[in-house]
Amino acid sequence: MKCKRCQIPAVVALPSHHTAFCKDCFLVFARRLVERAIKEHGMFTFDDRILIAISGGKDSLALAWQLKDLGYNIEGLHIDLGIPESSPIARSYAERFCAMGEIPLHVIETAKLGLAMCDVKRRVKRPICSVCGQTKRYLFNKFAQENGFTVLATGHNLDDETSRLFANVMRWDVEFLSDQGPVMPAEKGFAKKVKPLFRLTEFETANLCFLAGIDYGYAPCPYSSKASFPIYKNLLADLEDIQPGRKIRFYDGFLKDGRQGFAPRGETSVDIQPCTTCGYPTSAGECGFCRLTATMNEDDGKRETRDVKRKA
């Protein structure tokens, strides 16, 4: 198997693109996919201050590496979720990578906000991934808004995007379908959000890390079995094996012809107002983050009262 561009032996085969590349040509290929995504969807320019959500996993590190290499003005934000089995490992990879790449990294510890996810899981009845996702979205958005970042970039890849799309279609979740895409504009207190890796598969971002020498962490969250997207990811992976290129055609087709059939968020009946406690945009009076914090504090209060009673 030879590299399609330069004819030396290839190291990566990409059936969905009917091609194969050597190391250097693969890195050029990946860079072009990212540049195409940024340009086609007007994600940002060299004047923007870009905040990257850095989990310490391969996608976020590949994104930071690529945007830094392209010369964009980036900083990272890592959220330490307070999960003993995975958070310290993820954080150490994020910190090491940013220190070596000279990328400024900010860290928020949810435990310091009374929201260590291991405690939340024990004490809140909702599915943990839903609470955790909501907390991360809140903190990223708030940090970006309060610190003058013009864009918030995440490392979602094609597998993430197609599995989410597949799940939303299976539920005919009209609100999410109207919102899904590689760019969500800044509006009503939400920062602009972009996904520059959406044209790369998980396999391609893993290869990008490997060939670029990025040391990424593999610290699986112990609660990840509760997440539903992996089911859809696996189904699509099987389909991609039989029909290479199916995933990108599914997603491109949705962006081109499908999404327009669903009303944009601003035109739905959902009324977005500032949270009555913190000012974050919400449709529920008080936002989910403030309600979660209140529940955890209430729980703490009850526990303290119980402890006092026990001691009395």
Does residue 275 interact with Zn ion by CB under 5 A? yes
Distance of alpha carbon 214 from alpha carbon 16, whole angstroms: 24
At position 173, the amino acid (one-letter code) is D
The reply, when asked if residue 290 is annotated as ligand binding, is: yes
Q: Where are the alpha helices (DSSP H) in the chain?
A: 23-40, 58-70, 87-101, 117-123, 128-146, 158-171, 174-179, 202-212, 229-242, 246-253, 288-311
Distance of alpha carbon 184 from alpha carbon 190, whole angstroms: 9
Binding mask 216-245 for ligand SF4 (x = CB under 6 A): -----x-xx--x------------------
Judged by CB under 6 A, the chain residues 265 through 284 that form the site for ligand SF4 are none
Distance of alpha carbon 130 from alpha carbon 118, whole angstroms: 14
Beta bridge partners of 183: 194
CB of 144 to Zn ion, least distance (A): 16
Q: What are phi and psi of 240, to 5 degrees?
A: -65, -35
The reply, when asked if residue 160 is annotated as ligand binding, is: yes
CB of 290 to Zn ion, least distance (A): 3
Query: Of 24 and 109, which has the nearer Cβ to ligand SF4?
Result: 109
Choose among Zn ion, ligand SF4, none what residue 287 binds, the Cβ cut-off being 5 to 8 Å by kind.
Zn ion
Distance of alpha carbon 53 from alpha carbon 244, whole angstroms: 30
Question: Which span sits near Zn ion by CB under 5 A: 173-181, 246-254, 272-280, 302-310?
Answer: 272-280
Strand 105-109 relative to strand 151-153: parallel, antiparallel, unpaired? unpaired
Q: Where do we find the tokens 């934000």?
A: 77
Does residue 280 interact with Zn ion by CB under 5 A? yes
CB of 101 to ligand SF4, least distance (A): 23
Q: Are 215 and 97 in contact (CB under 8 A)?
A: yes
The reply, when asked if residue 221 is annotated as ligand binding, is: no
Query: Of 205 and 207, which has the nearer Cβ to ligand SF4?
Result: 205
Please measure the distance between the N-terminal and C-terminal CA atoms of the chain and give it in whole angstroms: 77
Does residue 214 interact with ligand SF4 by CB under 6 A? no
Judged by CB under 6 A, the chain residues 75 through 134 that form the site for ligand SF4 are 81, 117, 128-129, 132-133
- Which of 3, 52, 98, 290 binds Zn ion (CB under 5 A)? It is 290
Contact residues for Zn ion, defined by CB under 5 A = 275, 277-278, 280, 287, 290
Contact residues for ligand SF4, defined by CB under 6 A = 81, 117, 128-129, 132-133, 221, 223-224, 227
Residues comprising the binding site?
Answer: 3, 6, 22, 25, 53-55, 59, 79, 155, 160, 275, 278, 287, 290
